[in-house]
């Protein structure tokens, strides 16, 4: 499970800890490398993680068959760098959301989805728990971007 905030990740970890029979691995409990090793060793482990696990993680084959993403990965509006870049776009008459925030979120989501599909033979289930994907006009941008990929995921 990939989260956009530590707070939500830890809340879900607390809920799952009481009811889950599978080994529960939570980012912050141990070093990232050890966490990944334990995940790969345990066929039925559940891994909860945030930002650093959205990219650069390579778990091939049937060791990873489901990725659940809590929210579309928009950058925090409190990020000073994002604020400066958005202000620059607005000063030039542009749309900061369409030119900066949305493209960055699309790239981040593609990286998150990329954790599931590493090879052409990989298969799995991707669950995105953010209704903005279907309730906001910009949600179509995400679908269009994935439709351009060679993997051609099927959306239900």
Average pLDDT, rounded, for the chain: 86
pTM, rounded to two decimals = 0.83
In the chain the domains, ranked by start, together with CATH numbers, are: 6-148 (3.40.50.300)
Q: Closest Cα to residue 115, out of 147, 69, 77?
A: 69
CA gap 125, 153 in Å, rounded: 10
Q: What is the pLDDT of residue 118?
A: 66
Average pLDDT value for residue range 93-112: 90
């Amino acid at each position: 499970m990939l989260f956009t905030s530590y707070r939500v990740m830890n809340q879900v970890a607390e809920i799952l800890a009481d009811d889950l029979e599978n080994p529960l691995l939570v980012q912050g409990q141990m070093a990232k490398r050890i966490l990944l090793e334990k995940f790969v060793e345990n066929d039925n482990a559940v891994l909860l993680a945030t930002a650093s696990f959205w990219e650069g993680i390579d778990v091939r084959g049937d060791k990873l068959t489901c990725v659940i993403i809590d929210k579309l990965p928009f950058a925090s509006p409190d990020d000073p760098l994002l604020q400066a870049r958005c202000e620059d776009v607005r000063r030039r008459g542009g749309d900061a959301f369409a030119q900066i925030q949305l493209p960055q979120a699309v790239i981040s989501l593609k990286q998150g989805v990329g954790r599931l599909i590493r090879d052409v033979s990989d298969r799995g289930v991707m669950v995105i728990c953010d209704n903005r994907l279907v309730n906001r006009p910009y949600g179509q941008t995400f679908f269009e971007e994935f439709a351009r990929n060679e993997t051609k995921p099927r959306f239900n």
